[in-house]
Amino acid sequence: MSTLNDLLKCSFAALALVAAGVSGNVLAGLVPGQFAADYVWRDTDGNPIDAHGGCVLFHDGTYYWYGEAKIGRTFLPDCNKSWGGTRVDMAGVSCYSSTNLCDWKSEGLALSPVTGASSDLNSSNVVERPKVVYNRNSKRFVMWMHIDSADYHEARLGVAVSDTPTGPFKYRGSFRPDAGVWPINVTDADKAPGNGKYLVRDFQNGQMARDMTVFVDDDSRAYVFYASEENSTMHVSLLTDDYLKTTGRYSRILIGRNREAPAAFKHNGKYYLITSGSTAWAPNAARAAVANSVFGPWKELGNPCIGPNAEKTFSGQSSFILPIAGTSALIFMADRWNKWDLAHSSYLWLPIEFDGDDRPGVIWRDNWSLSMANTANVNHHTSSDTE
């Protein structure tokens, strides 16, 4: 098992982890914003790591990286469907393990597709952004994910559970969260029916849930953040103590801001959220927000990215913030989607660096090491990027 010191010595190339068979010098030659399709992160067998929209869980000295398996051909948009984006057949949720964040061993599929046409896990459907958390009471691993139809009209949350981190996870089904309950910050005006009042439209049968993440607080309470109301407003919903359901206690945040790809973390007692805009697989500007409570109110902090192509998140889209156990270091994990060949999408990991006012920054670094994360004390923001 690696020690903390080993981890801190571990150095990263911004476009790819130092990966078996790929020299750091080759990677360092990349230009930020360059399409990264030619550059792959490899597992210990030399195969490209296939874990998109994912997360990393640290458990008993090992890091587990979960993500969307994206294999096979990318299908072009179907002009007869309301949603006009590219897609691959759903190939399950893959899992890799590592003790040093550099060498990743493939653990196969943690959640596999199934053949039944009526199943959420049929390959014709969508399983995205899997997030795995460990429940200390039940000692079980719980996977939350975005479940959808191929044209994304279902917008549901799915849950699976396992006794071991590598699975196989047992799928428990999907649902639209928070049916029949108003959010804790609802106003009378919010409850009035009307055009575009998606909260009201979906009150009875549950709220839409697309891009999502799960965040576990220091008190072990877990929350699911999800893009709701036709992706216009994010919801954050408290999970039950076993993490298997939502409680019905939820809040609307970033109202009308059209944010997706939420990635949450805590720093110095405050909650932070990095999100993307809503432009399907195409990169756009990230935004950070901060709050004293998970339920908000959230204050927007502008784009945390700094450096060439920062307005496109360095060609990436947030997927997760990885806290490094035993340190205050945080890693910003992002996907670099290859829209026309999704199986060859890549990854971007950069350290989160805070300024003296605790504003998070994701600063482009060709090469970086964990000892840099969370240590910079430069004032790297201007007031113009604050809402």
Q: Give me 238's structure tokens.
A: 């408290």
From the list 236, 314, 315, 312, the residue with the least C-alpha distance to 273 is 236
By CB under 6 A, residue 128 contacts ligand GAL: yes
Closest listed residue to residue 148, CA positions, set 175, 170, 167, 183: 175
Compare residues 315 and 374 and give the one whose CB is closer to ligand GAL: 315
Q: Is residue 287 near ligand GAL by the rule CB under 6 A?
A: no
* Residue 53 binds to ligand GAL (criterion: CB under 6 A): yes
Examine residue 261 and tell whether it contacts ligand GAL (CB under 6 A). yes
The least distance separating ligand GAL from the CB of residue 129, rounded to whole angstroms, comes to 6
In one-letter notation, the amino acid at residue 301 is L
Structure tokens at 159: 């849950």
Neighbouring C-beta atoms of residue 138, cutoff 10 Å: 14
The residue among 98 and 313 lying less far from ligand GAL, judged by its C-beta, is: 313
Q: CB of residue 128 vs ligand GAL: minimum separation in angstroms?
A: 5
Based on the shown chain and the rule CB under 6 A, indicate whether residue 216 belongs to the binding site for ligand GAL: no
Tell me if 307 contacts ligand GAL by CB under 6 A: no
Cα–Cα distance for residue pair 123/131, rounded to 1 Å:
19
67 in Cβ contact with 50 (< 8 Å)? yes
Instruction: State yes or no: residue 281 binds ligand GAL (CB under 6 A).
Output: yes
Provide, rounded to whole angstroms, the least separation between the CB of residue 154 and ligand GAL. Answer: 12
SS3 107: strand
Looking at the Cβ atoms of 202 and 211, the one nearer to ligand GAL is 211
What is the token pair recorded at 226?
Answer: 């999800």
Task: Pick between residue 205 and residue 279 the one whose CB is nearest to ligand GAL.
Answer: 279
Please, which residue, 10 or 56, has the CB nearer to ligand GAL? 56
Contact 246, 237 (CB under 8 A): yes
Binding site for ligand GAL (CB under 6 A): 53, 85, 128-129, 211, 260-261, 278, 280-281, 317
